[in-house]
Amino acid sequence: MTKCVTHDKKLDILCSDCNLVICYRCLTSNYIQHRILHTDDIKQLLLDRLLCCFKQYLINQQINNEIIAYLNNNNEINKNNDNIKTNNSNVHSILQIIRNHFEKYKIDINQIGNMNYRPLTFADEEPFYLYFYGKERVKNINGKTVRGNNMILRYNVTKG
């Protein structure tokens, strides 16, 4: 119903005491001491509240999206940390293998260094290389004196 049955006027005032919608004539005749609100004011109040709620909803959605993005980023960081730990473990394993090989080679080289060398003789003219490891050893190869100081030395040795 949009018109007052008594005055045939538009119903646009709410009596909050009686919780009835009335026309301005009813207000002046029967509801003069009651608390009233105009329906346009009520509509505007409801629109303002709805707009405020919608803005809050949008803010909450943005916060939720940021939280989800943070959690996804955090998951990626955790995956990357796990990969780094795995790679670090692999590097340590490889380094240990390398250390073990170097220790073995060091033992082999020390054993070679303790052997007695004798002159080499050759059946062909092709040059070859002689390697040795020694602590301040002196060798005479092809008339040249060569000193080695805790290092592996490479010499071109030809038939002499």
Per-residue DSSP letter, 149:
E
Q: What does the pLDDT read at residue 56?
A: 95
Does 120 map to a domain?
yes
What's the pTM?
0.42
Strand partners, 84: none
Would you say residue 31 lies in a domain?
Answer: no
What's the domain count of the chain? 1
Decide if 148 is inside a domain: yes
* R_g (Cα) of the chain, nearest Å: 50
Below-50 pLDDT ranges, the chain: 117-140, 143-160
pLDDT of 132: 45
pLDDT score at 103: 82
| Strands 36-38 and 13-15, bridge-based pairing | antiparallel
154 forms beta bridges with 131
Range of the domain at 132: 116-157
In a domain, 145, yes or no: yes
Burial category of 52 from C-beta neighbours within 10 Å (exposed 0-12, middle 13-18, buried 19 and up):
exposed
